[in-house]
Structures are given as C-alpha cells and as structure tokens.
Amino acid sequence: MITLSGRTALVTGGSRGIGRATALVLAEAGARVVIADRTDCFADPDTATWAEIVRRGGQAESRYLDVSDSAAVDTLLADVSTGHGLDILVNNAGILQSGEIAETSDETWREQFRVNVDGTFYCMRAAVRAMLAGGAGTGGKPRGKIVNISSISGLRGNPGFAAYCAAKAAVVNLTRQAAIDYSPRGININSVAPGFVETDMTALYDAPTREALEGQTPNGRWADPRQIAEAVLFLASDLSDHVVGDILAVDGGWLIGTPVVTR
Ligand SMILES: NC(=O)c1ccc[n+]([C@@H]2O[C@H](COP(=O)([O-])OP(=O)(O)OC[C@H]3O[C@@H](n4cnc5c(N)ncnc54)[C@H](O)[C@@H]3O)[C@@H](O)[C@H]2O)c1
C-alpha cells in the first residue's frame, strides 16, 4: 500500500475533474492536501473537495489561487511551506480552448500560455525553492515530488487545438529539463499525460466526436479521473523514486496507435 502519511501535497485546480480526484486519492493515502484553485474555497461545503476530504476523515484546506499570478503563487507557496513544509506539488490547473492557428486570437494564445505554461512554471519555481529550503535532498532519498499534468496533446498533434498543443508540449519539456536540474538535489519531477478523460473540460466534444475518439483508442474507452489520479499517486510516492523526468501516458493506448478494426 502506498502511504503519504506526514506529507503535505498542494494540488492546483483541485476543485473538480482530475484535480479533485487527485486531491481525494492523495488524502486517502494519508497526505495533508492543500487545494489551490480559483473556485474550491467558494464552493458549497456539501460539494467542495476540501470538505469531502475532511468528511472522509482526511486533512485538507482550500486556498484561493490563480496560478497565472506569479506574486500570488509565491505568497501561497511560502505560506504553505512555512506552516507544514511542502513535499508534493501537483500542477494540474489548466484550461482548454479550441482553434486551428487561423482561428486563434492573440488573447486565446496568451491565455493558454498564461495558465498552462506560466502557471506551471510559477508553481514549480516556488515549490522547488521551498523544497530545497526544507532540505529535500538530505538523507539520500528524494523527498520532494512534483507531478505536472501535461496531455497527449503535448506529445502529438491534436487537430483543432493549436495553442493547447503548443502549451502542453512546453509543459512536457519543462518537466524533462527541470528533472535533470533537481533530481541530483532530491526533487523528482515527472508528468502524467492523460488521454481523453470524463470531466467538464471535455464536455465540448459532441457525441459523434466522442464515439470517433473512443474508436481511435486501443482499449475503446475514456478514462475516469480517478485513473489519472492513481498514476499521480504513484509518481508522488516513494515507489517512483527511480523514475525521473518521465512522461507517463494514461490514455488507453491512444499514443501507441489507432486500431484498424472499428468496434
Ligand atoms: N480532461 C481531459 O481529457 C484532459 C486530457 C489531458 C490533459 N488534461 C489536463 O488535466 C488537467 C485537469 O483537467 P480537467 O479535465 O480536470 O479540467 P477541468 O476544467 O474539469 O478542471 C480544471 C480545474 O483547474 C482550475 N483552474 C483553471 N484555471 C486556473 C487558474 N488560472 N488558477 C487556478 N485554478 C485554475 C479550474 O477552476 C478547475 O478546477 C488540465 O491541466 C488539463 O489540461 C485533461
């Protein structure tokens, strides 16, 4: 069994979807979870992620954060690490906007990068500083764990999503680059690249498109958010201590190829 007992995890975008599932799974493993989102602390206590964790006997709190605000990220991360130390960061907050290049406005392009890339960078930078100050590399074992949620769209072209694909590709290579710099100093940095997952984000797909995407996926299914969260749990735990700079696809096989025979 994986245990994160005694560790503090910060999950960005944890109020719904993959981030919510991740916060719940990390809390089940014993982590104290801080949910940093634009919405969770304003949500109904019957539904908010932090409240659900507390109801299940875990430890959680919710803090307002816009990850694209560099100063706010620094303030929140300093506050969390001063109070409890910071062991795990899950950079999950993200936005999806569609459009081929010809249809993509300057504002859409910048917004995709502001949230998906700048937000990931700001949170990584603040977390790395906090983890190093907290002695992440002492004792010979990695103590700091950073998991960036990228996407299959950062590893392959995805028709009609120019800015999103470019932004997620940046997250993929920032993960690899940072893993080289910080693995020697006790911080493991990896990424989970989800395929198609049942969340509010993918509600934009109509039924025929969904069916076509399922047909292109070797196991024929979209993921439940919990299946992504369990991969994050592995990368946040001691079990992954020798996994460095990896991009773990959790995609039903979509990246390896498309079945020829339609189900
Ligand atoms: N759903 C999928 O099929 C899929 C596939 C691949 C990758 N992803 C990635 O997984 C992550 C989570 O996606 P999801 O499907 O759960 O999306 P979602 O839209 O359901 O949830 C996104 C969460 O991020 C938060 N958020 C957005 N912008 C923010 C900001 N600036 N600051 C703080 N919080 C912010 C939202 O409030 C929300 O809670 C994203 O990075 C997304 O790109 C999703």
For the chain, what are the domain ranges?
A: 8-250
Measured from the Cα of 228, ligand 1's closest atom is 10
How sure is the predictor about 154, in pLDDT bands with cuts at 50, 70 and 90? very high
Structure tokens at 240: 């992954």
What integer is the mean pLDDT of 149-175?
A: 97
- Does 138 have pLDDT greater than 70? no
- Does 263 have pLDDT greater than 60? no
What integer is the mean pLDDT of 183-203?
A: 97
Structure tokens at 114: 């502001």
| Per-residue DSSP letter, 116 | I
Q: Integer distance in angstroms from the first to the last C-alpha of the chain?
A: 36
Give the residue among 173, 156, 158, 24 at the shortest CA–CA distance from 90: 24
What integer is the mean pLDDT of 145-151?
A: 98
- Does 77 have pLDDT greater than 90? yes
CA of 96 to the centre of ligand 1 (A): 8
Structure tokens at 57: 């006997």
How sure is the predictor about 141, in pLDDT bands with cuts at 50, 70 and 90? low
Q: What local confidence, expressed as pLDDT, does residue 159 receive?
A: 94
Q: Which residues pair with 10 in a beta bridge?
A: 34, 89
CB 7 within 8 A of CB 34: no
CA of 260 to the centre of ligand 1 (A): 31
Any atom of ligand 1 within 6 Å of the Cβ of 37: yes
Q: Which residue's CA lies nearest to atom 32 of ligand 1?
A: 66
Bridge-based pairing of strands 8-12 and 32-37 is parallel
Q: What local confidence, expressed as pLDDT, does residue 237 receive?
A: 97
Q: What is the mean pLDDT of the chain?
A: 95
CA 14, CA 62: separation in Å to the nearest integer?
Answer: 9
How sure is the predictor about 176, in pLDDT bands with cuts at 50, 70 and 90? very high
CB 163 within 8 A of CB 99: yes
Q: For the domain 8-250, what is the CATH code?
A: 3.40.50.720
| More reliable by pLDDT, 38 or 263 | 38
* CA 251 to each of CA 53, 150, 193, 224: distance values in angstroms, whole numbers, following the listed order: 27, 12, 8, 11
Measured from the Cα of 116, ligand 1's closest atom is 41
DSSP string for residues in 111-166:
HHIIIIIIHHHHHHHHHHHHHHHTTTTGGGS--EEEEEE--GGGTS--TTBHHHHH
- Does 135 have pLDDT greater than 90? no
Any atom of ligand 1 within 6 Å of the Cβ of 67: yes
Per-residue pLDDT of 33-72, as tens digits, reads: 999 999 988 889 889 999 999 999 999 999 999 999 999 9
Q: Which amino acid is it at 52? A: E
Share of residues in the chain with pLDDT > 70 (%): 96
